[in-house]
Amino acid sequence: MTTTTSPTTGSSSGGRNYPGYGRPLWQRLLIRRETAIIALLVVVIVVASAAVPHFGAPITYNFLLLDTAPILLIALPMTLVIITGEIDLSVASAMGLSSSIIGLLTQAHWPFPAAAAIALLVGLIGGAVNGLLVTRVGLPSLAVTIGTLALYRGLAQGLLGTTAVTSFPAFWTDLATSTLPGTLIPSVTVLIVVLALIFGALLHFTPFGRGIYAIGLSPDAAAFSGVKIQRTKFILFMLAGFVSALAGIFYTLRFGSARGDNATGLELSVVAAVLLGGVSIFGGRGALPGVLAGALLIGVLASALRLAGITSDVINVITGTLLVLSVILTSFLAWLQRMRLSAGRRRRETGGSASS
Amino acid sequence: MNSLKRVTRARETGILLAFLLVVVVTTVKNSSFVFSQDGFRDLLVTPMLVLLIAVGEAMVIITRNVDLSVGSVIGLTAYTAGTLFKYTDIPWPLVALIAVAGGAALGAVNGLLISIAKVPSLVITLGTLYAFRGINVLWTGSNRINSSDIPNDFQGIGTAQLLFIPVITVIAAVVLVVAAWYLRNIRGGREFYAIGSDPDAANLYGLKVGRRVLLAFIVSGALAGLAGVLYVARYGTVDSQAGSGFELQAVGAAVIGGVAIFGGVGSVWGAAIGAMLLLTINRALPVLGIQDFWQQAVVGALIIGAIVLDRILALRQARRLTVMEDSEA
């Protein structure tokens, strides 16, 4: 048995370094971690509402959601991509590209829906290029998407140069910042909720979604159990490109301005939100509720600090520290658990070799 | 394989040819690109900051890790150096030492978190990218160090020359040669490759994996610190955003130069030439009549072209090896 399986497991692509940990342990930790991030979010909201003047006001949440919407949107496909053990760093550049294209076509007097459709199509193609390079050519996604990060951003800036297009139909720009009738909840929330439900269902309740986890945990085992690895990854990269283009359209309309450098650097916030939400960078572990809480946590902290009069740049320190702490904590808990297990084993063996 | 063949077959040769091609074509178009005082100096000086961090980045990537925090380390050390110049009378060599040591300390923070807590470097250095930059912004605010705050003799380094070669280039070249020699000829350097090829096997073999990875991050941080000091010398002004975005250029340069992102393959020479190519293309495009808005696109196309090429070469070599095995059997 072991002799037949060892060569196949040995030939895995090599993205994952720590496959040997007990799985139930990780799953238990994960549940704690998801709960922890959601609990942290609630605590922060409660504390901020009590301590920061005006934080409890509905208008705060309006701006908070508008500001966080692109991160929330892109975090959805990004979660799925990272769970397969891949990564997509080109998302913010795809946003910029979609923004540029919308601007260019609007300038050429295209009707807005047609321009938006082209932008979405370009996003889809951009994602497909990533997907092809990763699945067909067999390149590591980290390198590929660093390349397309530069490429798509370069195309975005090349197409528009330094001009900014601002002549969008008022109907669409108003829609982007509009609220649901009778409330202060921005309309884009509907889009986020619908997409979150779709992605949540896709990830957690379909065979396709189970396949995503299987790929992340062990590509070889997934392949042997009939998961179409290449096709799954290809589809996920296309989804990431598509949603990025969608977020790019929203971003353009929200600020009423199409520029080649729109949303520069946003990819890092998205990845940070996803990892903060408990998704393992090695793939195979994570869930959408945690990710949404992670993205919101970053948004709430930024908003609360801004209202408290602290410069909004502090948020960088907090995002970074939270990210580092969250992975170290997971690692520390795993280590603690291992110590306890090995201590128990040593007791049973009553003075056996403790060197291992 | 004799040495000539080894040189022509080397991955670095291809990228060097590409670099020379860019220089030659651009010079033909406009001779002042190389044959003028400023053109020659820019050619040699502009890529040096990225070259330095690309060398450190290559060492980190060879151990199958990645350091995304180098841009933020440059920012912090550059501002530290600038502040010391502005408010104290510490002689500049000492300031430079402090900045390099500071960079090494920040690198050690990364390295310790990664090797002790055994967490992925991508996540940790993404975190410290934010954290270091945030600390920098908190500290700097909207202040900036201006060139009038910086002693003249230090600022002279930015423009000084040794014979015909700018001093900054000499410094970078020394670093490059030492790093290349260490990785190629010294036991510890070879262990970098062993760890990157297969961390588990390296561990079983008895290599001190954690210690080597820590060293790689300290070197990367120290080189970013050095780049930070040189940033002050070269540009004269430092604000809170100094060095931001450099991390992607460093990774891009290493990848273009043939350093495989999953470790174990590549050389600091490749990364250095990659950095030269990357930044020289940026300067060549406007001369060639291409609007500089397209720079990023060219850079992206280069990175993708380079990794696709690497993949094709690797596949071809694998096929040749199987053919050889078959004929031996």
Q: What is the mean pLDDT of residues B103-117?
A: 91
Q: For residue A86, tell me if it sits in a domain.
A: yes
The predicted-structure confidence for B226-279, as pLDDT tens digits, reads as follows: 999 999 988 888 888 888 888 888 998 998 888 888 888 889 999 999 999 988
Range of the domain at B31: 3-324
Report the chain B residue with the minimal C-alpha distance to residue A16.
Answer: B120
Specify the range with the lowest mean pLDDT, choosing from A164-173, B31-40, B106-115, B259-268.
B31-40
Best interface-test mutation with B: which of A12, A317, A338 has the largest number of B CBs within 10 A?
Answer: A317
Instruction: Give the pLDDT score at A262.
Output: 84
Q: How many CB atoms lie within 10 A of CB A313?
A: 18
- Is A315 in CB contact (< 8 Å) with chain B? yes
- For A:159-198, CB contacts with B below 8 A are 160-162
Look up the CATH number of the domain holding residue A278. Answer: 1.10.3470
- Contact across the interface for A317 and B199, Cβ inside 8 Å: no
Q: What percent of chain B has pLDDT over 70?
A: 97
- To the question of pTM greater than 0.90 for the whole model, the response is no
- Contact across the interface for B255 and A157, Cβ inside 8 Å: no
Token code pair at residue A112: 């807005």
What is the ipTM for the molecules in this complex? 0.80
- Checking if the pLDDT of A248 tops 80, the result is yes
- Contact across the interface for B134 and A313, Cβ inside 8 Å: yes
- Contact across the interface for A149 and B304, Cβ inside 8 Å: no
Nearest to A271 among B113, B126, B133 (CB): B126
Nearest CA distance, B48 vs chain A (angstrom)? 20
Look up the CATH number of the domain holding residue B169. Answer: 1.10.3470
Q: For residue A1, tell me if it sits in a domain.
A: no
- For A:217-276, CB contacts with B below 8 A are 260, 265, 268, 271-272, 275
Chain A neighbors of B293, CB-CB under 8 A: 154, 157-158, 160-162, 260
Q: How many CB atoms lie within 10 A of CB A7?
A: 8
- Checking if the pLDDT of A317 tops 70, the result is yes
Q: What is the mean pLDDT of residues B169-181?
A: 92
Q: Tell me how far apart the terminal alpha carbons of chain A are, to the nearest angstrom.
A: 25
Among B112, B96, B88, B237, which residue's Cα sits nearest to residue B168?
B96
Q: What is the mean pLDDT of residues B148-157?
A: 80
Nearest CA distance, B159 vs chain A (angstrom)? 31
Q: What is the mean pLDDT of residues B133-154?
A: 82
Residues in chain B: 329
Q: For residue A21, tell me if it sits in a domain.
A: no
Q: Are the CB atoms for A78 and A276 separated by under 8 Å?
A: no
Q: For residue A44, tell me if it sits in a domain.
A: no
Q: What is the mean pLDDT of residues A141-162?
A: 89
Nearest CA distance, A173 vs chain B (angstrom)? 27
- Contact across the interface for B293 and A157, Cβ inside 8 Å: yes
Q: For residue A134, tell me if it sits in a domain.
A: yes
- Contact across the interface for B255 and A143, Cβ inside 8 Å: yes
Contacts of B49 (CB under 8 A, 6+ apart): B74, B227, B230, B231, B234, B246
- Contact across the interface for A313 and B138, Cβ inside 8 Å: yes
- Contact across the interface for B127 and A315, Cβ inside 8 Å: no
> Is B176 exposed, middle or buried, given 0-12, 13-18 or 19+ CB atoms closer than 10 A?
buried
Report the chain B residue with the minimal C-alpha distance to residue A11.
Answer: B198
Ramachandran sector of residue A263 (left: φ over 0; alpha: ψ -120 to 50; beta: rest): left
The DSSP call for residue B33 is: G
Instruction: Give the pLDDT score at A5.
Output: 36
Give the span between the Cα atoms of B288 and B23, in whole angstroms.
11
Instruction: Give the pLDDT score at B4.
Output: 67
Q: What is the mean pLDDT of residues A117-123?
A: 96
Number of domains in chain A: 1
- Contact across the interface for A320 and B119, Cβ inside 8 Å: no
Q: Are the CB atoms for A283 and A82 separated by under 8 Å?
A: yes
- Checking if the pLDDT of A208 tops 60, the result is yes
Nearest CA distance, B278 vs chain A (angstrom)? 12
Q: For residue A39, tell me if it sits in a domain.
A: no
Backbone CA torsion sign across B42, B46, B47, B48: positive
Chain B neighbors of A332, CB-CB under 8 A: 117
Report the chain A residue with the minimal C-alpha distance to residue B310.
Answer: A139
Total beta-carbon pairs less than 8 A apart between chain A and chain B:
160
- Checking if the pLDDT of A216 tops 60, the result is yes
Range of the domain at A208: 58-338
Q: For residue B329, tell me if it sits in a domain.
A: no
Q: For residue B234, tell me if it sits in a domain.
A: yes
Instruction: Give the pLDDT score at A14.
Output: 42
Quote the longest CA-to-CA distance of chain B.
73
Number of domains in chain B: 1
Model confidence at B99, pLDDT cuts 50, 70, 90, reads: very high
Contacts of A87 (CB under 8 A, 6+ apart): A81, A141, A142, A145, A271, A281, B122
Ramachandran sector of residue A163 (left: φ over 0; alpha: ψ -120 to 50; beta: rest): beta
Q: Are the CB atoms for B218 and B111 separated by under 8 Å?
A: yes
- Is B311 in CB contact (< 8 Å) with chain A? yes
Give the span between the Cα atoms of B195 and B185, in whole angstroms.
16
The predicted-structure confidence for B3-12, as pLDDT tens digits, reads as follows: 666 666 677 8
Residue A187 half-sphere exposure, CB side, CA atoms within 13 Å? 13
Instruction: Give the pLDDT score at A11.
Output: 38
Token code pair at residue A67: 């500001």
